[in-house]
Amino acid sequence: MKKVIHFSTLIIIVLVAMVSCQETSYPGATISPYVSLYDLRLLHKEADVQLDINNMYGSNKITGVVISDHTHGNLPEGYLILQDKRRLDKLRGITIPLGADATKYTVGDSVIINIEGKTLARREGILQIIGVSDTDIELISRNRFIAGNRVNAGAILANPNDYESTRVAIVKAGFDPLPKPTDVLSGDKIMNDGFGDIVLKTLPSAAFSNAIMPISANYYGIILNEEDSEGNLKPHHRMVNATDLVLLSSEVEIAPILITGFVSDAKGTDANYEYIQLMATEDIDFSVTPYALVTTNNAGASTPTGYPLKGWATGDVRTYKFNLTTGTAKKGEFFYVGGTSKMINGPSSTSINDANWICSYAYNTQNGFDFGTKTTNLLANSGNAFGMAVFKGTKVDVNSKPVDVIFIATGGSLYTEGPPAYGYKITNTDFYDVIDPLSLNQQPYYRNGTNTLAFKYNTSDVGYFNMLGGVYNPALGKWIKARAQNNVLLTKESVLLEIEGEGSTQLK
């Protein structure tokens, strides 16, 4: 009987404890006094919000690092702007109208701000905490490091609320049309980084307003919003000081040939049926100005194994070379390199013999030009990475730098930093940078530094044309809309227009 009583008592104690846990999720814990800017911004829907401990989850303060600086005159007067990453490692910012006291703070100041009883409201397109005075602010430290946050214009345009009041770096940006030698930054300028057009706003009163507009540069600064007549947020970028402009180039480097698509896995056998689509960005007579196209297949069985000691010129089954020495291509015209079958999707499919074939070569029965062993799979079907690169001239060696290059997937022995370093050299494209735009470190190889982007494999033996659609501006020497992989599912009856039509690369 005693055992029964003791057991019943134990059950009651456990049940009471469970109820207590349900009523207080963290018994004995203390709620942080700081609400993250991520959670704070979520409180605002459409109407103003009076901030109190209840709607701030038991908190009454925010903390962050100041990113505003009024000494150079390019920010709205009286705005204190700070950011933090306290929640889910998501960077968010907030603007506080502080009047003349905003000039007391500068970039890198760490602050704590009491916001209980203040109002969260969107004014002039910007979410703000209204009612804060200098007495609500505690300065903790100065000169805090602010890590670079590379964000492309497309992401900002798609999510203007997320990036509002945060410091970003928009890299490799330029202007269209190209600025004249005397054009200056003052005013609203439309800049493009390959992912979208965004306004760069420079007030006439800014200390750097008369700086000459560069050909290509990185732009650090703060994203702020305005509202259009329908209440939609329209973001713009404001540099804070002259050092927020980092010049990258004073010359326009035009890629004369672009890689715009490929068939790596036709329906049925691939032997002699794979091909690559390219586009000329200028009139080319290949008998006068020859080029080379090199493919690389890094499947586990491809020899030589290990890192490519001769880069694109490694040869054997790792790399295969085509020389482009005959024929012509007009500016904006597609042309093709591949097997001699010249069929759109493998055996018994539509002939595309009438397309502009600059080089058709039986890679399954003949070795490549200068290097490369005959192979039934020029481009891999799955697994490790494969790629292709275009070179000016027909001499390709370990030091050769391509004029355009793409990769599919990331696996295999592709790059080692050594020393010495071995890998496949890249060039400046919509995907790759010979110099890291943020750190300015050299990174001349695929998988080196930030050069990690790649397109994806498609399902095997289905018959996809991998359309790499984007918009390239030869006058600017850059992609103003980066290539995207638009997979076109081909049939045996498909025609040329399906791979050269809607969604394909265009010149502006």
pLDDT digits (tens, 9 = 90+) for 380-419: 988 899 999 999 999 999 999 999 999 999 999 999 999 9
Per the CB < 8 A criterion, the answer to whether 129 and 118 are in contact is: yes
Tell me, yes or no, if the two domains 37-141 and 153-249 fold the same way.
yes
Specify the 3-state DSSP secondary structure of 210: coil
Query: Starting at the edge strand that comes first in sequence, how are the strands of the sheet with 291-297 ordered?
Result: 319-324, 291-297, 386-392, 404-408
Give dist(CA 221, CA 199) in Å, integer.
Answer: 12
pLDDT score at 5: 45
In degrees, rounded to 5, the angle at the alpha carbon of residue 425 between the alpha carbons of residues 424 and 430 is 115
Task: Kindly write down the DSSP assignment for every residue of 384-398, as one continuous string.
Answer: S-EEEEEEESS---T
Of the candidates 442, 437, 438, 408, the one whose C-alpha atom is nearest the C-alpha of residue 425 is 442
Is 429 buried (19+), middle (13-18) or exposed (0-12) by CB count in 10 A?
Answer: buried
Per the CB < 8 A criterion, the answer to whether 97 and 79 are in contact is: yes
- What CATH number was assigned to the domain covering residues 153-249? 2.40.50.140
Give dist(CA 398, CA 396) in Å, integer.
Answer: 7
28: left (phi over 0), alpha (psi -120 to 50) or beta: left
Kindly state the tokens that stand for 366: 């003949």
Give dist(CA 69, CA 58) in Å, integer.
Answer: 32
Of the candidates 166, 84, 79, the one whose C-alpha atom is nearest the C-alpha of residue 128 is 79
| Residues in a beta bridge with 200 | 189, 237
The domain limits of the chain are 37-141, 153-249, 252-508
Check whether the bond before 474 is cis (ω within 30° of 0): no
What predicted TM-score, i.e. pTM, was given to this entire model?
0.84
Give dist(CA 377, CA 264) in Å, integer.
Answer: 8
What superfamily would CATH give domain 37-141? Nucleic acid-binding proteins (2.40.50.140)
- CB hemisphere CA count around 372 (13 angstroms): 33
- CA 467 to each of CA 406, 501, 508: distance values in angstroms, whole numbers, following the listed order: 12, 10, 18
Of the candidates 424, 388, 423, the one whose C-alpha atom is nearest the C-alpha of residue 404 is 388
Give dist(CA 352, CA 499) in Å, integer.
Answer: 11
Low-confidence ranges of the chain (pLDDT < 50): 1-26
Secondary structure E strands in 349-477: 357-360, 386-392, 404-408, 464-473
Per the CB < 8 A criterion, the answer to whether 132 and 111 are in contact is: no
pLDDT score at 438: 86
Give dist(CA 200, CA 193) in Å, integer.
Answer: 12
- CA 370 to each of CA 271, 367, 404, 426: distance values in angstroms, whole numbers, following the listed order: 20, 8, 20, 21
Q: Does domain 252-508 have CATH number 2.60.40.1260?
A: yes
pLDDT score at 97: 98
pLDDT score at 248: 85
Give, rounded to a whole angstrom, the gap between the first and last alpha carbons of the chain. Answer: 91
Identity at 195, one-letter amino acid code: F
Task: Kindly write down the DSSP assignment for every residue of 142-205, as one continuous string.
Answer: S-------B--HHHHHH-HHHHTT-EEEEEEEEESSPPPTT-BS-EEEEEE-SS-EEEEEE-TT
